[in-house]
A and B are shown apart, each in its own frame.
Chain A
């Protein structure tokens, strides 16, 4: 059974810092990995999707990397802003291609960016 862990569980940084969020998964036979953010009381917003054939994806100040062999993904946030404060979740599909797999979510990292 796939297990997804995120470290750290919580992080507080001053505005402007660069930061890295970590995601580990136990079964490396994944075909993509998705990063989401969730604001308190809100839904999940998709940030980046990395296919298994890719090593990196970038969107604005966000950069996500994927190393399937080591079962790890990192989300790099450059020049953090208070508006980045949220919970960040990584998720991987469980099951083979074409099986309409459920997403297995990580435990989440709660980020607070202070002024």
Chain B
């Protein structure tokens, strides 16, 4: 298993441009989420999904959109990038049931700079 994969690893974007960060998992996990990591702020959840067709907002959803058309993929879209979105983005996945989440697995991250 590849686990959780993310592309690209690095990207530089200009203010106002759009892009999609890709996340894929091959562990048949139901729960997928996006976090951003910033110095002094730790990791904060952006959006999450518990199954295909179901998404919800996390702590810091403004400026980001997600979709979940299948179990494997959970892309994060920035419609009009701003310098405040310069960050390292991580995708995380786990099995999910109403009994609670299990061990979460993180991808290698995407380092995004918005100029």
Known: A42-B108, A43-B109, A107-B42. A102 touches B58 (CB 8 A): yes
A48 to B43, CA, bound (A): 19
Chain B: CB-nearest residue to A101: B101
Q: How far, in angstroms, from A102 to B58 measured CA to CA in the complex?
A: 8
- What string of 1s and 0s marks CB contacts (under 8 Å) between A31-50 and chain B? 11010100001111110010
Whether the pair B109, A100 counts as a contact (CB closer than 8 A) is no
Which residues on the A side are within 8 Å of B109 (C-beta)?
A: 42-43
| A44–B106 CB distance below 8 A | yes
Measured in the bound complex, the distance between the Cα atoms of B107 and A42 in whole Å is 9
Q: Kindly state the separation between the CA atoms of A110 and B90 in the bound complex, as whole angstroms.
A: 20
Q: B62 interface residue, CB < 8 Å from A?
A: no
| CA gap between A98 and B101 in the complex, in Å | 7
Complexed CA–CA distance, A42 and B88 (Å): 10
A69 interface contact, C-beta 8 A: no
Q: Is the CB of A100 within 8 A of B106?
A: no
Binds A, one of B11-19, B76-84, B91-99: B91-99
- Cα-based distance from A107 to B50 in the complex (angstroms): 27
Taking CB atoms, residues of chain B closer than 8 Å to A91 are 104
B28 at the interface (CB under 8 A from A): no
Assuming the A-B contacts A34-B104, A42-B109, A43-B106, are A102 and B96 also in contact, with contact meaning beta carbons closer than 8 angstroms in the complex? no
Per the bound structure, the CA–CA distance linking A97 and B48 in Å amounts to 16
Chain B residues lying within 8 Å of A93, measured Cβ to Cβ, are 100-101
Does A103 reach chain B (CB closer than 8 Å)?
yes
- The answer to whether A105 has its CB under 8 Å from any CB of chain B is yes
Q: Is B20 an interface residue (CB 8 A)?
A: no
Which B residues touch A100, using CB under 8 A?
A: 31, 33, 48, 50, 56, 96, 101
Question: Is residue B102 within 8 Å, beta carbon to beta carbon, of the partner chain?
Answer: yes
B-side residues, CB < 8 A to A, are 31, 33, 35, 42-43, 45, 48, 50, 56, 58-59, 90, 92, 96-109, 111
10 examples of A-B residue contacts, CB within 8 angstroms:
A31-B100, A43-B106, A43-B107, A49-B103, A91-B104, A93-B101, A100-B33, A100-B48, A103-B35, A103-B43
